[in-house]
Amino acid sequence: MSTPAIGAANARRSGHDQPSDYKRIYVWQFPVRLFHWATAASIVLLCITGFLIGHPLNAFYAAEAYHQYWFGWVRFVHFTAAFVLMAVQILRLYWAFAGNRYANWRHFLPLTRAQWEDIENLISTEISQIRKQERYHMGHNSLAATTYFVMFLAFLFQTATGLALYAHMSDARLTHIFNWIVPLLGGDAGVRFWHHLFLWAFVLFIIVHVYLVLYDDYVKGGGEISAMISGWKFKRNGNER
């Protein structure tokens, strides 16, 4: 049986828009795709610069401090990427109510029995490889959507702890709203520890996310990567979830 990607390729070679048993569906609207790639770029920059802030390189210490400003640039990129990510998440939260059904907020909260069954099925097929029978999802599957919600909570924690640390060097009211976090976590050292620890949660998320996207593209022929660029996916009639 041909995959959606193969079916689409056959349709182009035969000169038709799409094969008779496939349907072309516009899944990811432009704002969703824009938010996705902006979030991806911001998280990668935050992870790299965050690691360098926690573990500065010794390679640039030979010259006098006033001859270089590399660590200042690292901090600048980190702060800029953080504020970009904050803005993107606020806009994405709005789009969870304004976007199409594939972007709706209900997908991200596992509130129904069907969603939990879908999560169990995905763990047993795509992750543990216990089962071979898989389901095709037009939008986010329940496991991915729930993971995104958990990572959104992690983002809120990183935002709060990051602004609490930033308050020492800023007069902005926004940063001082989070001053109470410093004594709660045992002082600046405690805030830095938890902020840096959660960095590795995002690193782990990136690794797993890339693996599952490649798995979906290569094994299932889901076309996730191209869909997040063009917005379009192909559905075999009767297979949509």
Average pLDDT of the segment spanning 89-115: 92
- In the predicted structure, residue 53 carries a pLDDT above the cut 50: yes
- pLDDT of residue 233 exceeding 60, the answer is yes
Q: If pLDDT is split at 50, 70 and 90, which confidence band does 59 have?
A: low
pLDDT at 119: 87
Question: Counting Cβ atoms within 10 Å, is residue 169 exposed (0-12), middle (13-18) or buried (19+)?
Answer: exposed
Percent of the chain surpassing pLDDT 70: 81
Residue 82: name the closest of 36, 49, 110 by CA: 49
CATH number for the segment(s) 4-149+197-236: 1.20.950
Cα 151 to Cα 5, 72, 119, 199, 221, distances in angstroms: 30, 28, 16, 11, 26
Q: Give the pLDDT score at 219.
A: 76
Query: Which of 10-19, 141-150, 218-227, 232-241 shows the lowest mean pLDDT across its residues?
Result: 10-19
Tokens of 129: 């490889």
| Three-state secondary structure readout of 9-68 | HHHHHHCCCCCCCEEEEECCCHHHHHHHHHHHHHHHHHHHHHHHHHCCCCCCCCCCHHHC
pLDDT band at 121 (very low <50, low <70, confident <90, very high): confident
Mean pLDDT of 24-34: 93
What value does the mean pLDDT of the chain take? Answer: 84
pLDDT score, position 16? 47
If you write DSSP's letter for every residue of 126-190 in order, what string do you get?
Answer: IIS---------SS--HHHHHHHHHHHHHHHHHHHHHHHHHGGG---HHHHTTTTHHHHTTSHHH
For 199, counting Cβ atoms within 10 Å of its Cβ (0-12 exposed, 13-18 middle, 19+ buried), the class is buried
Band of residue 215 on the pLDDT scale cut at 50, 70, 90: confident
Per domain, the residue ranges of the chain are 4-149+197-236
What is the share, in percent, of the chain residues with pLDDT greater than 90? 50
Task: Give the Å distances, CA to CA, from 42 to 2, 49, 84, 115.
Answer: 37, 10, 7, 29
Summarised one tens digit per residue, pLDDT across range 184-205 is 999 999 999 999 999 999 999 9
Q: What is the pLDDT of residues 164-184, one digit of tens each?
A: 999 888 888 888 899 999 999
Which residues have C-beta within 8 Å of that of residue 107, sequence separation ≥ 6? 139, 140, 142, 145
Q: What is the pLDDT of residue 239?
A: 53
Say if residue 210's pLDDT is above 70: yes
